Amino acid sequence: MNQNAYSPETIPHARLDIQLRFDGQEGSMSLRVNGVPVNIGSGESGGGQDVGKVNSSSPPILRTLDERWRDFRRDALAYRLFFRFVRHVPGALALIGLFQFALYWQFFAQEPNFLARYGWWIFYMDISVVALAAMLGYLRSYHLNTPHMLGMMIGMVVGMQVGTMLGAVVGATNGLFVGALTGMFCGGLSGVYIGCRCGSTLAVIQGLMSGGMAGTMGAMLIAMMLDDHVLFFMPFFTLFNLLILLGFTYLFYEEAVECCRCKMRQLPGFLSLAGISLLATTALALLMLYGPKGPMVWTGETPKPMDMGSMKPGGMMDMGGMK
C-alpha cells in the first residue's frame, strides 16, 4: 500500500465504508475506504490493479491423467468446446471427401495414373488441413490474453505444425522448391496471425521463425524419402503430427483456459470449420495438380533403388545417370 492508505488508527470507528469494484472490460480492480482510493496493486495512486497480469502470474492447475479423467467425469461441460471440435472434424472430412470425389469423377476419372500419383497425398493433405483448421479454430474461440512465454509456445507450435504438415504433402507432388515455399508461407503467416492475436511480439517472431524452418524441413524430409518407402512412412508421420496437435490443445487448456487466463470469445460452428477447410484444400489441390513440378516428385511408381555400381572410385557418384 502507499502512504495514503488507511491504518486502523486513522479510520473512524463510527463510520467505515469499504467499496471494492471490479471492471471486467478494463480488467481492473479498485478499493475505496470512506470514499478515499486505496492502492492495492503496483504502487500507483488510484488503486487500480491489472487482473490479467494477476491471472497470468497465477500457476496453472496441473493434473495427472487419472485426475483429469476423474475431473472430466465429474464436470464434462468444462470440456464441451474440445469435444465440439472432435465432432466437427469427421463431418468436415466427409464433406471435403464427397466434394473431391465428385470433381474426380467429373474431370479426372479418365486419367489412368491420377489416383496413384495424387490420391494418397490429397488424402493426407485433407487430414492435415482439417486438423490444423480445428486447432486454429479452437485457439480463436478464446481471447488470447497470454503471457510472453505461453504466447511464444502458441506461435511456435502453430507455425511449426502448419509448415511441416503442408510443406510435406506439397513437396511430395511438386518438389522441394514449391513444397518449401508453401510450407514457409502457410506456416509463417499462420504463426504471425496467431501471434498477433496473443498480443505478444515474441509470439509473432517465434511463429514466423518456426514457419520458415518447419516449412523447408517438411518438404525436404519427404523429398528425400521418395525412394525409401515414403508411403509406409506417411501414416506414422501424420499420426505423430496429430498427436502433437492434440497434446498442444491439452497444454493450452491446462495453461490458459483452466486457470482463467483466456476467456471464451465465441462458440464456433460447423460451417465455419468446413468452409475454411474446403477452401484451403481446394487451393492446395489446385497447386498440387497444376503448380510447377521439380525434378524430385512422386510419380505414382516406387522409384528403383539407387544403383551402387554408379559410385565411382573415391566415393563420388556419377550424376549423369540420374534424371
In a structure prediction context, what are the per-residue pLDDT tens digits for the chain, which is 323 residues long? 445 554 555 545 556 777 777 655 445 566 776 666 665 544 433 333 333 333 444 566 667 777 777 877 777 777 777 788 888 999 999 999 999 999 999 999 888 889 999 999 999 999 999 999 999 988 988 888 777 888 899 999 999 999 999 999 999 999 999 999 999 999 999 999 998 988 888 899 999 999 999 999 999 999 999 888 899 999 999 999 999 999 998 888 888 877 767 777 777 788 889 999 999 999 999 999 999 998 888 887 765 555 545 445 444 444 444 43
Q: Is 18 helix (H, G, I), strand (E, B) or coil?
A: strand
Q: Is 304 among the domain residues?
A: no
- In this prediction, residue 55 carries a pLDDT of 42
Q: Is 248 helix (H, G, I), strand (E, B) or coil?
A: helix
- Rg of the Cα atoms in the chain: 27
Q: Is 297 among the domain residues?
A: no
What strand order describes the sheet that includes 36-38?
18-23, 28-33, 36-38
Grid cell 484444400 — which residue? 281
Q: Is 67 among the domain residues?
A: no
Please tell me the distance from the alpha carbon of residue 11 to that of residue 104, in angstroms, as a whole number.
Answer: 81
Please tell me the distance from the alpha carbon of residue 176 to that of residue 188, in angstroms, as a whole number.
Answer: 17
- In this prediction, residue 174 carries a pLDDT of 94
Q: Is 165 among the domain residues?
A: yes
Sequence-separated (6 or more) residues with CB below 8 Å from residue 4: 36, 38, 39, 45
Q: Is 310 among the domain residues?
A: no
Q: Is 93 among the domain residues?
A: yes
What are the DSSP E strand ranges found in 53-160? none
The three cell numbers of residue 60 are 496453472
- In this prediction, residue 111 carries a pLDDT of 87
Q: Is the pTM value of this prediction over 0.85?
A: no
Report the domain count for the chain.
1
- In this prediction, residue 15 carries a pLDDT of 64
Alpha carbon separation from 45 to 1, 6, 9, 42 (Å, rounded): 9, 13, 21, 9
Q: Is 43 among the domain residues?
A: no
Please tell me the distance from the alpha carbon of residue 221 to that of residue 236, in angstroms, as a whole number.
Answer: 14
- In this prediction, residue 293 carries a pLDDT of 92
The three cell numbers of residue 15 are 463510520
- In this prediction, residue 254 carries a pLDDT of 83
Domain with 154 in it: 78-290
- In this prediction, residue 92 carries a pLDDT of 93
Q: Is 256 among the domain residues?
A: yes
- In this prediction, residue 136 carries a pLDDT of 92
**What is the amino acid identity at position 190?**
S
